[in-house]
Chain A
Amino acid sequence: MKFRGKIIDPHCMKQFYSIVIILSKLCRNVVLRLSSTKLYLIASNESNSNQISVWSVLDQQSFFKDYDMIGETESNEILFSLPIDMLASSLSSAKQTNLKTLKMKLTDKLSPCLTIELDLESQVSSKQLCTHDIPVSVILPKDWSAYKEPTIPAHNISVVMPSIRVVRHIVDKMKRIGPRLIVSLDSSGKMVLGVSNLSATVDTHFIGLEIVSVHNLTDKENKYSTVVDIKKFSQFLNCETLNLSKILCHVVEGMLLHCSIEEDEYVLHYFLSGIDD
């Protein structure tokens, strides 16, 4: 079992760091699944262990300059889990401009570790080397089935989210009113975010959104809604740092809010299961 990867492009480092930062806000532990062409970051729901909450796929070639891996099984894959906050804090120096290369590799020091090596350029011509060892726990092949690509449930409706910055501001304000957010989308391209408590009900309407697909076109006044934890939703909205072109928002009536980001280099799905009324 071997893995070694090297990023030298500052833009890729920043992007990788931003993805890790977003994940670190959504979950505590992340399973890193390495295959010869892709790098998957998977988080499963902590309360409901079998359900995957974050599924992100990074294209190896657009991030890494060098990428070598040898898995132990025929499928040539490696799976291990690690605390994502440690990864985020070790990559935090990627923000700095003087970082030349970022190397990641699997090592065996005291325990299995993901070693992050940062080559820094200092003012004086000499080089600084910073290594972070993140303890990981390797997942055995028999447990791999839990980290298979999730089947995306049939959506009732999918729309393009309005400006993430605006949504984030509004949701952050709404957070103070109540803990549950009602997200409803209808076939006329309207998205309503609603929150209520004993003394007030607040709804925010976004209109004229681009509809990607509607499950049932026959009925014109189709409206689908789901209730989610407002805190978890607002944490996801931190992803504005990624400078995304668009975010899709899908709803399965009463069951699931699914946000997806699909860029050329990476894909990120966030599944937020609905909570009961």
Chain B
Amino acid sequence: MKCVIPRQNLKILSRALNTMCRIGEDLYIEPNSTQLIMHTTNSWHTVYAWFTFDSSFFSSYYFTEDDEQNSENSLKCKISLKSCITIFKSPHLSRCLESCHMEIKSNADTITIQLRYSNFCVKTHLIPVLEYSALQVNQNVDTSHVLCIDSKVLSAAVKHFQNSETDITLIVTTEKVILKTHSESCRDIRQMLRTELSLQSSEFDIYDVGEGCCITFSLKEIRPLLAFAEHMTLPVIIRFSSPGMPMVFGLKNGLTFESQYILSTMNDNAISGDANSIRLNINAIENTQSTNEQPENLLPNINRTQLASSSLRTPMRVQVEYPDSISRKRKHPSTSQQTPKIANSINSISVIEQFREECLEEDVLLSQVADFHVDNEPIKTHVNKNSNFTQEFSDTALVFARCHSLPIRNSPIKGKGKVLVYDSDGLIDDSD
């Protein structure tokens, strides 16, 4: 694949890369016959940034038949985002730079980026390809509510919030939108500055919110996108459905390029500590997990534990969940790295679902780990009753949450987990 980016568009590309740089470390590039897709995700998989440049964005775009055949596995590559932006950061970018040529060869070690200057100077950069793999994301996010707003208005509104503000809550009603400081984060609400901003529905170009809803998302992650949109003077389209479900920030410049940020949202109910909502969350995890069952079995090294559906309705279900989710959280980076290698066989793993799971898990964890009271009996009974169940748990799943800093033991599990360190609250070894 070869393409040439004219000077004017190079600035857009450079800004887009800088925007993505604030999210993740790796850049995934996926060329296809009509467009070049660049995307990235952060290490927690809570944000996914996606930019698509149409062939009209480039002054020329070659995508040969060979490329067509290879596109599935050997053209989709992963490079380091940092090394990529240093090329475009150079101060020479403005003056005598004429065009940028980019070439991705199938299965080559590097991709070539050539900057051509008007004084016949040519600068060639070879960026090593870290991996030929693709990021699989389910972009079909359920979006029943749509808002469209001028990016200038939105970024001015967001400027009222302190720079240190990480999460904000978006409340939409039929008449207006309220943005406010997320009130239930871990910090002491009584000691911090609370900001609330209301925007009338007339500020929005599209205002389709149904009966309204209330979701919490990370403001920090969205600021770079807003800055980009403001610079390009493009309206921002916000789509979302319900708390806990992913939301989408999108912008589109005609046909030439398009961008989307998919971010996880927080489920406020979970934090409030209502037992019912926690149960519901776990059901949600359960459901998404069962769809993931197939691919997980293909990854024997990953110690990702499965949930036993039989115990779902027992009251202790919730407690067994915590260590499990902790261990999974820790292993997430490895999961994500393994996934692309078997990309063809995975249809059901979607990062989005992982986003949601993680988001839910974190909520539950944050609120519950602190006042978790240990009662080991029910776990034991599960173990005794259901031997399959025991096999399905990793070591860490049976170790109490406070021991979660222990190394994960991959030693063979003979029908039961082994506790490395006893919990100070009296968790005992489950050797029957």
Distance in Å: Cβ of A25 to nearest Cβ of chain B: 17
Q: Flag if B194 contacts A128 (CB, 8 Å).
A: no
Contact with A along B40-70 (1 / 0, CB 8 A): 0000000000000000000000000000000
Query: What are the residues of chain B within 8 A of A128 when measuring CB–CB?
Result: 157, 197-200, 203
Query: What are the residues of chain A within 8 A of B193 when measuring CB–CB?
Result: 86, 89-90, 132-135
Q: Which of chain B's residues 190-236 have a Cβ closer than 8 Å to chain A?
A: 190-200, 202-203
Query: What are the residues of chain B within 8 A of A152 when measuring CB–CB?
Result: none
Q: Which of A93, A111, A131, A134 contacts B196 (CB 8 A)?
A: A131
Q: Flag if A122 contacts B160 (CB, 8 Å).
A: no
Q: How far is the CA of A118 from the CA of B157 in the complex (A)?
A: 12
User: Within 8 Å of chain B (Cβ to Cβ): is A200?
Assistant: no
Nearest to A96 among chain B residues (CB) is B156
Q: How far is the CA of A132 from the CA of B159 in the complex (A)?
A: 13
Q: Flag if A110 contacts B190 (CB, 8 Å).
A: yes
Please classify how large the interface on chain A is, using the bins under 10, 10 to 19, 20 to 34, 35 or more. Answer: 20 to 34
Distance in Å: Cβ of B296 to nearest Cβ of chain A: 44
Q: Flag if B197 contacts A135 (CB, 8 Å).
A: no
Q: Flag if A130 contacts B160 (CB, 8 Å).
A: yes
User: Within 8 Å of chain A (Cβ to Cβ): is B189?
Assistant: yes
Chain B interface secondary structure, helix, strand, loop or mixed?
mixed
Distance in Å: Cβ of B408 to nearest Cβ of chain A: 42
Query: What are the residues of chain A within 8 A of B197 when measuring CB–CB?
Result: 128-131
User: Within 8 Å of chain A (Cβ to Cβ): is B162?
Assistant: yes
Quick one: given A89-B162, A123-B153, are A135 and B190 in contact (CB under 8 Å)?
yes
Query: What are the residues of chain B within 8 A of A135 when measuring CB–CB?
Result: 190-193
Q: Flag if B202 contacts A124 (CB, 8 Å).
A: yes
Interface core residue of A118, A128, A131 (most chain B CB under 10 Å): A128
Chain A interface secondary structure, helix, strand, loop or mixed?
strand
Q: Flag if B157 contacts A132 (CB, 8 Å).
A: no
Query: What are the residues of chain B within 8 A of A132 when measuring CB–CB?
Result: 160, 193-196
Nearest to B196 among chain A residues (CB) is A131
Query: What are the residues of chain A within 8 A of B192 when measuring CB–CB?
Result: 135
Q: How far is the CA of A96 from the CA of B159 in the complex (A)?
A: 11
Query: What are the residues of chain B within 8 A of A122 when measuring CB–CB?
Result: 153, 203
Nearest to A82 among chain B residues (CB) is B193
Query: What are the residues of chain A within 8 A of B190 when measuring CB–CB?
Result: 110-111, 135
User: Within 8 Å of chain B (Cβ to Cβ): is A246?
Assistant: no
Query: What are the residues of chain B within 8 A of A109 when measuring CB–CB?
Result: 194
Nearest to B183 among chain A residues (CB) is A110
User: Within 8 Å of chain B (Cβ to Cβ): is A232?
Assistant: no
Q: Flag if A130 contacts B153 (CB, 8 Å).
A: no
Distance in Å: Cβ of B209 to nearest Cβ of chain A: 16
Q: Which of chain B's residues 104-162 have a Cβ closer than 8 Å to chain A?
A: 150, 152-153, 156-157, 159-160, 162
Interface core residue of B157, B160, B197, B199 (most chain A CB under 10 Å): B160
Quick one: given A89-B162, A93-B160, are A126 and B200 in contact (CB under 8 Å)?
yes
Contact with B along A125-150 (1 / 0, CB 8 A): 11111111111000000000000000
Distance in Å: Cβ of B154 to nearest Cβ of chain A: 11
Contact with A along B242-263 (1 / 0, CB 8 A): 0000000000000000000000
Q: Flag if A126 contacts B194 (CB, 8 Å).
A: no
Query: What are the residues of chain A within 8 A of B157 when measuring CB–CB?
Result: 128, 130
Query: What are the residues of chain A within 8 A of B160 when measuring CB–CB?
Result: 93, 118, 130, 132
Q: Which of A110, A125, A130, A134 contacts B189 (CB 8 A)?
A: A110
Query: What are the residues of chain A within 8 A of B153 when measuring CB–CB?
Result: 122-124
Distance in Å: Cβ of A230 to nearest Cβ of chain B: 28
Q: Flag if A127 contacts B200 (CB, 8 Å).
A: yes
Contact with A along B156-191 (1 / 0, CB 8 A): 110110100000000000000000000000000111
Q: Flag if A130 contacts B196 (CB, 8 Å).
A: yes
Q: How far is the CA of A256 from the CA of B199 in the complex (A)?
A: 51
Distance in Å: Cβ of B47 to nearest Cβ of chain A: 25
Query: What are the residues of chain A within 8 A of B195 when measuring CB–CB?
Result: 90, 130-133
Q: How far is the CA of A124 from the CA of B202 in the complex (A)?
A: 7
Nearest to A89 among chain B residues (CB) is B162
Q: How far is the CA of A250 from the CA of B258 in the complex (A)?
A: 62
Q: How far is the CA of A129 from the CA of B192 in the complex (A)?
A: 20
Nearest to B201 among chain A residues (CB) is A126
Distance in Å: Cβ of A105 to nearest Cβ of chain B: 14
Distance in Å: Cβ of B207 to nearest Cβ of chain A: 12
Q: How far is the CA of A129 from the CA of B200 in the complex (A)?
A: 9
Nearest to A83 among chain B residues (CB) is B193
Nearest to A113 among chain B residues (CB) is B194
Query: What are the residues of chain B within 8 A of A93 when measuring CB–CB?
Result: 159-160
Distance in Å: Cβ of A19 to nearest Cβ of chain B: 19
Q: How far is the CA of A133 from the CA of B193 in the complex (A)?
A: 6
Q: How far is the CA of A22 from the CA of B349 in the complex (A)?
A: 54
Query: What are the residues of chain B within 8 A of A96 when measuring CB–CB?
Result: 156
Query: What are the residues of chain A within 8 A of B152 when measuring CB–CB?
Result: 123
Distance in Å: Cβ of A75 to nearest Cβ of chain B: 28
Distance in Å: Cβ of A128 to nearest Cβ of chain B: 6
Q: How far is the CA of A123 from the CA of B150 in the complex (A)?
A: 10
Q: How far is the CA of A128 from the CA of B199 in the complex (A)?
A: 5
Quick one: given A90-B193, A110-B190, are A124 and B198 in contact (CB under 8 Å)?
no
Pairs across A and B, CB under 8 Å, 5 listed: A93-B160, A126-B203, A132-B194, A133-B193, A135-B190
Q: Which 10 A-B pairs have the closest CB atoms?
A: A126-B200, A133-B194, A86-B193, A126-B202, A130-B197, A111-B190, A131-B196, A129-B198, A130-B160, A132-B195
Apart from A129-B198, A132-B194, list 11 A-B contacts with CB within 8 A.
A96-B156, A113-B194, A124-B202, A125-B202, A126-B200, A126-B202, A126-B203, A130-B160, A131-B197, A133-B194, A134-B193
